[in-house]
Structure 1
Amino acid sequence: MNIWLGTIPAFLLATIGAVVLMRRKRRSGLTLLVVINAAIMAGALALVAAALTAGPATAATVTAATATAATTTGSGGSALIAAAIAVAGSSLGASFAVAYTGSAALAAMSERPEIFGRAMVVVGLAEGIAIYGLIIAIILIGQA
């Protein structure tokens, strides 16, 4: 199980607690939430400062296998990030395209029901944008 899925109940409880606090005590609740957010931000900044000022990690022994593995994985990470960007961008573009073409298709079909087939073709073409991004991602992952 992913560790981030385990934090969902904590975030849900924090949100519910903040809503209840704001409904019961407006002014003091807002002050308390600002103080809590400032403390979390200070902790995050301290963590970032510690990560940025830390020295490089060194291994005690470096074998030939780990040295070659370290040198060959440099461009693979960039290809994976590029694949993620391709999928995310194409999915967002497809979602906007389907939203606009789908609403226009439904409006047109409410006036003329016989154009159902042509309207669904346009919506299907909009969904194809996401498939193109997925194909590009597969190509990029294959080259990684």
Structure 2
Amino acid sequence: MTTGLIIGSLIVLAVLGGGFSVYKFKVRWLKYAYFAFNITLLVFLFFWGVSLAFPHLVYAAEANETVSSGNSLGYLAAGLSVGIASIGAGIAVGIAGSAAIGAISEKPEILGRALIIIGLAEGIAIYGLIISIMILGRL
């Protein structure tokens, strides 16, 4: 019963969400963001459905391992800082890179300045990595 509901919800989510993302939004990046949200939700529901349908595949922690909620929230914060910073860096590099290619094709002597701007955009991911290392160092 539960497996059928989850499979049905996945199909509805994939068909309706994908259909709406293709026809609803005229802005291209908003269409891709909506599609990525649907895919993320689809993956979450899939793994949740697998854990409900096959509970013997989910293992508990060992008895001698103690993980407090503070540690688990710290690990979550470290992962989120890297993930969100990498998504932001990807968006920034995509926008700056396409503008730099267009500018270099018109005026080739600005190659060095364009590479510096793209490098600054990549620095956002490095900042997220540094923050996550600092968070993991405190745990």
Answer whether TM exceeds 0.5 for this pair: yes
Q: Deviations over 1:41-98 (max 9, x none)?
A: 38x769649x8xxxxx9xxxx8xxx4xx63x633111100000000000000000000
Question: What is the match of residue 92 of structure 2?
Answer: 97
Q: Hey, what's the Cα distance between the residues in 2 that align with 1:135 and 1:109?
A: 32
Q: Using the alignment, how far apart are the partners of 1:78 and 1:46 within structure 2? A: 24
Structure 1 residue 78 corresponds to structure 2 residue 73: yes
Match of 2:136 in 1: 141
- How well do the aligned residues superpose, as a CA RMSD in angstroms? 3.2
Task: Percent identity, please.
Answer: 43
Corresponding position of 1:41 = 7
Q: Structure 1 84/121 Cα, relative in aligned 2: closer, same or farther at 3 Å?
A: same
> 2:118 aligns to what?
123
Counterpart CA distance in 1 for 2:104 and 2:115 is 10
What corresponds to 1:108 in structure 2? 103
Among 77, 84, 87, the alignment partner of 2:82 is 87
How many residue pairs are counted as aligned between the two chains? 93
CA distance in 1, matches of 2:50, 2:90: 38
Distance 1:46 1:119, change over 3 A: closer
Is there any run of 5+ residues in structure 2 with no aligned partner, and where? Answer: 9-47
Please state how far the C-alpha of 1:102 moved relative to its aligned partner.
0.2
Runs of 4+ in 1 over 2 A off after TM superposition: 37-42, 44-49
CA separation in 1, counterparts of 2:100 and 2:50? 52
1:132 to 121, 127, 130: 127
Query: Which one has the largest radius of gyration?
Result: 1
